[in-house]
Amino acid sequence: MSEKVYSTSELMSCVMARHLKNGEVAVMGAVSMIPMAACRMAQLTHAPNLYYITGGSGAVNPYLEPMVPSSCDDELLRSDAALALPDVILLEGHGKRLDVFFGGGLQIDKYGNCNLICIGDWEKPALRGPGTVGLPFLPRAGRVVIYTMSHNAKTLIEKVDFNSGPGFLDGPESWSTKAKDLPGKGPALVVTPLCVMDFDEETKVMRLKSLHPGVTLEQVVENTGFQLVIPDEIPVTQEPTSIELEYLRKVDSAGIVRNM
Amino acid sequence: MSEKVYSTSELMSCVMARHLKNGEVAVMGAVSMIPMAACRMAQLTHAPNLYYITGGSGAVNPYLEPMVPSSCDDELLRSDAALALPDVILLEGHGKRLDVFFGGGLQIDKYGNCNLICIGDWEKPALRGPGTVGLPFLPRAGRVVIYTMSHNAKTLIEKVDFNSGPGFLDGPESWSTKAKDLPGKGPALVVTPLCVMDFDEETKVMRLKSLHPGVTLEQVVENTGFQLVIPDEIPVTQEPTSIELEYLRKVDSAGIVRNM
Amino acid sequence: MERTSKVISISEAIQRFVGDTCASLAIGGMHMHNNPMALIREVIRQQKKIKRLITSPSGSINADLLIGSGLVSEVLTSYVGLEHLGLAPNFRRGVEKKTINLLECDEPFLVYGLQAGAGGLPFIPYPAGLELTDIPRVNPELYRYTTDPYTGKQVMTAAPIKPEVALIHCQEADPFGNAIFKGSEFTDRQMIFAADTVILQVEKVVPNLAEKYGSTKVNVPGFLVSAVVEAPFGCHPTSSHGYYTYDEGHLKGYLKACKDTESYSEYFKQYVTGIAEENYSQQIGAEQLEKLRQGGGVK
Amino acid sequence: MERTSKVISISEAIQRFVGDTCASLAIGGMHMHNNPMALIREVIRQQKKIKRLITSPSGSINADLLIGSGLVSEVLTSYVGLEHLGLAPNFRRGVEKKTINLLECDEPFLVYGLQAGAGGLPFIPYPAGLELTDIPRVNPELYRYTTDPYTGKQVMTAAPIKPEVALIHCQEADPFGNAIFKGSEFTDRQMIFAADTVILQVEKVVPNLAEKYGSTKVNVPGFLVSAVVEAPFGCHPTSSHGYYTYDEGHLKGYLKACKDTESYSEYFKQYVTGIAEENYSQQIGAEQLEKLRQGGGVK
């Protein structure tokens, strides 16, 4: 294996950027450096009409370069427009405004449910998390892109201890019962430092989509706390192209994503 | 009777201004030149800490001089602050933000209910009015100051054909039943070209408070479509002082109020 | 790749984004200010039928002209009038003669309803006391009641409002639909957030809008806007906050013209159906427009 | 007569407007931005007990410091953390060890609740789908259900939030409390509209604020504000949008200090209880503050 000219977090940014379509609207919350960079990069490459809103700042299409880590930074207000937070909440509640919602959690389960609340019982948590902020809107977002920097069997688990960001709930049956009239189509993509995953159409269980260069299937299986759907053919995640890297580094000149 | 050095509408403005206390917050809607001038004048004389909001413009404390007729004019935005209309609606709904709400109507009845909707039956109106806008908030305003340029028996009537701005409803009993938990104290003052009125504490019926200079009791009784409460002593409305007139004309240099 | 401009001509905007029968059309502006008259006149020229017209809490000539055109079936409004200039003649006639169906409401209904429509909320419950008017009685379809789960009391509710199309005037927009209100927003921004499709008319398309004003002043995000139409003086005879004041003489002339069918159809021919929107300014005259531009505050 | 200035000293503001036991205290700012730290430190110095602390949708050191002071009984919040810098140690410990009572909620609960509190609305019903989390299960007092009178469906509701006192940072205010947010408003303006009493800390009192920025930028009306306190760099170690960026080194130091009781009480002595607020800037040092002023965007 040759020395990589990009970091894993940069690869993750590229994967997310490719997932975004021209003309879509995306939104993200706290600690979203990778999705932020992905959105801006997508704008500069294949999706010039993409819109994105960076969380609590209310900034619409921040110019980013150079990007900053905090989702509420005033640097983000160098942007096309800026909304007061209650207006962002209107957009999130509407159900047809946002195509992509970036989510994550302390725990993410096989149905794509996310947990930002606690590990263990809520009454007596082994670990108290920060809280869920806007994740409950997930069932009203066009589709959900989940990401985590911790691909391990404690993070990717069978069932979240606390559901604070609904994915496919308890699976196909509960999803089709409880979410049938909702605008959201559920989780669509999961991006980790090891691989890319999507969801099996029938079982709604997370499915391996591609392995990052140099990562083995065994590594992924070992580090995943539930039984992933493994397709017959598993491609390798496409490496960042030189154009992608050029734009990503233009956006992330400070190396915030690169060095995560 | 000597030639008056002020117009009736100027006198009305002075009466309203005197009613406003230092530190209060007042709000008004469309066609509110007289209350607007009253508020600004009050600020310049005895009530420098008065706040007032001019309807749809959302302007807080417009400097006015020179004033303009429309309640939504951009001239009003030469002001201390300006709110989006939905914020004004929050203030009106809150119940403890606004001390004085200026109201009026095509019809005003003896209990101070106002009607901006129609004369006659709603289904087949003899006259269709413009609509009620924000008058339904009256029961949540600290107190209501009603004014009209038409003191006649068609405007001041026994019972409004349509209640679109609640006063004391059907009188003391219905008021104490239906409004007992509401923040508003109901109508407090009525100012017309002929006189000033308030409301009898017991019966909640409109009561003559003072006659404008040169106006007789008979004139008022004749031009009022219900039986007013007439107290034993009826003072004459105090004429504008020279200081009041000086400030009123500073505010209304274009003579908009003066020539109404 | 390049960003796609949303700037198109006024006739194309109405053709493409307003159906021949529009289920519900919200029109921005309040009293004689910020009325999107250029778009409204074009709707009339193209004879788009409007099943339900939705005004701001205070509609003006924007609603009255549309009603006068005979294209409107019903109106959801809390006021249509010309403020200190008098009643709105076509609205008044339409309601009195029952040629239009009136959905009577109050100002908070429109504000709450648009808020609910914008935010996916099922309804908004009213503060106590607003149920004391006679309005809910004449509009039982839209005014309803439910239980406050915290007190057990009955509360009145406003239904969500989700206009199919909103016609809105902003002073300036960038080519991608990000836009500003220089002066008051009224309920126009709420209409933008609640509507399925938004057509903006602006005085001016400004490429670097956020740089000019700061992004926090640019509070209309472009993704909510389907088309941007540049229409200088497009609010005439109403004002455009920060650009020009309203034309009181013209408005009085309009009120006079509404007194009989003949003079009204003359007004229509002269300012609406008889000319293309591009020629409207000319019809008013450069000198008069310049005079209006001198008026108005907050430049 | 002259208008009465609302500008008073920080100690007087907290003395006069925060009771010895405050039923509910809302604190502005989101993540490491616009936290009204000067006011919060003074609340701690004056040992005001807080029955219920209410954060923005993303509380930060503002909440964590108060919780760490031991003055807080319960917290209504959807997040307390230090974003990319890590978890909030005192919040985490307080919840894990049950020294504080947690009213778990989500971001929309806070936004809807403040909206309801500000507007006299009895509650706000949620859009469908948000009842699918486990949150309503652990907070049945505040999350309830009622009937949508338009569809007959059950809908979840957010209770109104009416803080007794709100501590808010604005960049600038005039002496009468009219104020601006130079950058993001977060939910601070909603807190101002919902609270019974508002204490503003500002970087600067500016006599002719509306002239400087235009009145539409001045969207905090003075009559909602009880006191204005001038506290330059009063958000430190968080940012003040448009004035200075946050102090990452200091925040990391805080996190480290929270690891044991001794170093935390040392932090407390050094920056909070051991000094008057007037001496805080000096404690940080002019050079460091100047460096932070150089950072941050949108000047």
* Backbone CA torsion sign across B35, B38, B44, B49: negative
Q: Which of C70, C34, C85, C38 shows the shortest CA–CA distance to C55? A: C34
Structure tokens at D140: 């049945």
D35: Cα within 13 Å, side-chain hemisphere: 29
Contacts with D107 from chain A: Cβ below 8 Å: 89, 132-134, 136
Rg of chain A in Å (alpha carbons): 17
What is each CA distance from D58 to C126, D29, D80, D258, in whole angstroms?
A: 29, 8, 6, 20
Interface residue C19 vs chain D (CB under 8 A): no
- Asked if residue A123 lies in contact with residue D98, where contact means CB atoms within 8 angstroms, the answer is no
User: What residues does D30 pair with on adjacent strands?
Assistant: D33
Mind telling me how many Å the CA of A140 is from chain C's nearest CA? 9
Specify burial of residue D97 (Cβ count, 10 A radius: 0-12, 13-18, 19+). exposed
Q: Which chains touch D (3 or more CB pairs under 8 A)?
A: A, B, C
What pLDDT score was predicted for residue B4? Answer: 78
* Closest residue on chain D to B95 (Cα): D120
Residue entry with tokens 């001794």: D262
Interchain CB distance below 8 Å, A182 and D242: no
Strand boundaries in D142-279, DSSP class E: 144-147, 154-158, 165-173, 179-180, 197-205, 227-230
Give the C-alpha separation, D73 to D23, whole Å.
Answer: 10
Instruction: Respond yes or no on whether the N-terminal peptide bond of residue C127 is cis (omega within 30° of 0).
Output: no
What is each CA distance from A82 to A20, C209, C216, D183, D184, in whole angstroms?
A: 21, 12, 5, 9, 8
Contacts with A83 from chain C: Cβ below 8 Å: 219, 221
Interchain CB distance below 8 Å, A82 and C3: no
Q: Which chains touch A (3 or more CB pairs under 8 A)?
A: C, D
Mind telling me how many Å the CA of B50 is from chain D's nearest CA? 9
Interface residue C159 vs chain D (CB under 8 A): yes
CB pairs under 8 A, 24+ apart, for D257-261?
Answer: D258/D64, D258/D68, D258/D89, D258/D90, D259/D89
What pLDDT score was predicted for residue D213? Answer: 96
Q: Which chains touch B (3 or more CB pairs under 8 A)?
A: C, D
Stretch B67-79: mean pLDDT: 95
Interface residue D274 vs chain A (CB under 8 A): no
Low-confidence ranges of chain C (pLDDT < 70): 296-299
Structure tokens at B29: 């809607």
Residues with Cβ < 8 Å from A102, sequence gap 6 or more?
A: A16, A26, A27, A28, A29, A32, A35, A144, A145, A146, A147
Give the C-alpha separation, C72 to B226, whole Å.
Answer: 40
Substitution target in C130, C243, C292 with the highest count of B β-carbons within 10 Å is C130
Residues with Cβ < 8 Å from A131, sequence gap 6 or more?
A: A116, A117, D77, D78, D79, D80, D81, D104
Question: Between A242-251 and A8-19, two packed helices, what is the crossing angle to 10 degrees?
Answer: 100
Mind telling me how many Å the CA of A116 is from chain C's nearest CA? 24
Instruction: Please give the helix or strand (H or E) that residue D66 lies within, else none.
Output: helix D61-68
Q: How many angstroms separate the first and last alpha carbons of chain C?
A: 37
Give the C-alpha separation, A114 to A109, whole Å.
Answer: 7
The residues in C 191-250 lying below 8 A from B, measured between CB atoms, are 239, 241-242, 245-246
Specify burial of residue C6 (Cβ count, 10 A radius: 0-12, 13-18, 19+). buried
Give the C-alpha separation, A31 to A25, whole Å.
Answer: 19
Q: Residue type for B179, please? A: A
C134: Cα within 13 Å, side-chain hemisphere: 21
Mind telling me how many Å the CA of A118 is from chain D's nearest CA? 10
Contacts with B80 from chain D: Cβ below 8 Å: 174, 176, 178, 209-210, 215, 218, 221-222
pLDDT 10s per residue in chain A (260 long)? Answer: 346 799 999 999 999 999 999 999 999 999 999 999 999 999 999 999 999 999 899 999 999 998 999 999 999 999 999 999 999 999 999 999 999 999 999 999 999 999 999 999 999 999 999 999 999 999 999 999 999 999 999 999 999 999 999 999 999 999 999 999 999 999 999 999 999 999 999 999 999 999 999 999 999 999 999 999 999 999 999 999 999 999 999 999 999 999 98
What is each CA distance from A164 to A221, D158, D295, in whole angstroms?
A: 25, 16, 35
Partner residue facing C210 (CB), from A79, A97, A183? A79
Instruction: Please give the helix or strand (H or E) that residue D137 lies within, else none.
Output: helix D135-138
Mind telling me how many Å the CA of B59 is from chain D's nearest CA? 8
Q: What's the CATH architecture for C10-106+161-295?
A: 3-Layer(aba) Sandwich (3.40)
Interchain CB distance below 8 Å, A30 and D79: yes
- The three-state DSSP-derived secondary structure of chain A is CCCCCCCHHHHHHHHHHHHCCCCCEEEECCCCHHHHHHHHHHHHCCCCCCEEEEHHHCEEEECCCCCCCCCCCHHHHCEEEECCHHHHHHHHHHCCCCCEEEECCCEEECCCCEECCEEECCCCEEEECCCCCCHHHHHHCCEEEEECCCCCCCCEECCCCCCCECCCCCCHHHHHHHCCCCCCCCEEEEECCCEEEEECCCCCCEEEEEECCCCCHHHHHHCCECCCECCCCCCECCCCCHHHHHHHHHHCCCCCCCCC
Give the C-alpha separation, A187 to A207, whole Å.
Answer: 12
Residue D116 CB neighbour total at 10 angstroms: 25
Q: Which of A62, A45, A44 shows the shortest CA–CA distance to A53? A: A62
- Asked if residue B101 lies in contact with residue B52, where contact means CB atoms within 8 angstroms, the answer is no
Give the C-alpha separation, C222 to A60, whole Å.
Answer: 9
What is each CA distance from C224 to A22, C2, C169, in whole angstroms?
A: 15, 19, 14
Q: What does the DSSP 8-state code read for residue C273?
A: I
Structure tokens at C129: 């006391």
Q: Render pLDDT for D201-244 as a digit per residue (tens, 0 to 9).
A: 999 999 999 999 999 999 999 999 999 999 999 999 999 999 99
Return the SS3 of B115: strand
Q: Residue type for A184, please? A: G
Rg of chain D in Å (alpha carbons): 19
Q: Render pLDDT for A56-107 as a digit per residue (tens, 0 to 9).
A: 999 999 999 989 999 999 999 999 999 999 999 999 999 999 999 999 999 9
Q: Residue type for D115, please? A: Q
Domain parsing of chain C, residue ranges: 10-106+161-295, 124-159
Structure tokens at A59: 């900034």
Contacts with D223 from chain B: Cβ below 8 Å: 25, 51, 60, 97
Q: Which of D87, D50, D83 shows the shortest CA–CA distance to D69? A: D50
* Closest residue on chain C to D108 (Cα): C119
Question: Between B242-251 and B8-19, two packed helices, what is the crossing angle to 10 degrees?
Answer: 100
Q: What's the CATH architecture for B8-251?
A: 3-Layer(aba) Sandwich (3.40)
Structure tokens at D211: 């002239």
Mind telling me how many Å the CA of A212 is from chain C's nearest CA? 28
Structure tokens at C190: 């709420």
B2 — pLDDT class (breaks 50, 70, 90): very low
Interchain CB distance below 8 Å, D120 and B140: yes
* Closest residue on chain C to B169 (Cα): C132
What pLDDT score was predicted for residue A108? Answer: 98
pLDDT 10s per residue in chain D (299 long)? Answer: 799 999 999 999 999 999 999 999 999 999 999 999 999 999 999 999 999 999 999 999 999 999 999 999 999 999 999 999 999 999 999 999 999 999 999 999 999 999 999 999 999 999 999 999 999 999 999 999 999 999 999 999 999 999 999 999 999 999 999 999 999 999 999 999 999 999 999 999 999 999 999 999 999 999 999 999 999 999 999 999 999 999 999 999 999 999 999 999 999 999 999 999 999 999 999 999 999 998 765 55
Interchain CB distance below 8 Å, B90 and D193: yes
Interchain CB distance below 8 Å, A136 and D128: no
Give the C-alpha separation, A52 to A24, whole Å.
Answer: 8
Q: Quickly list H helices, chain C.
A: 10-17, 37-45, 61-68, 89-96, 107-119, 135-138, 188-194, 209-213, 248-257, 261-268, 280-284, 286-294
Q: Which of C222, C231, C173, C166 shows the shortest CA–CA distance to C197? A: C166
Domain parsing of chain A, residue ranges: 8-251
Structure tokens at B108: 């005003």
Question: Between C107-119 and B85-94, two packed helices, what is the crossing angle to 10 degrees?
Answer: 110
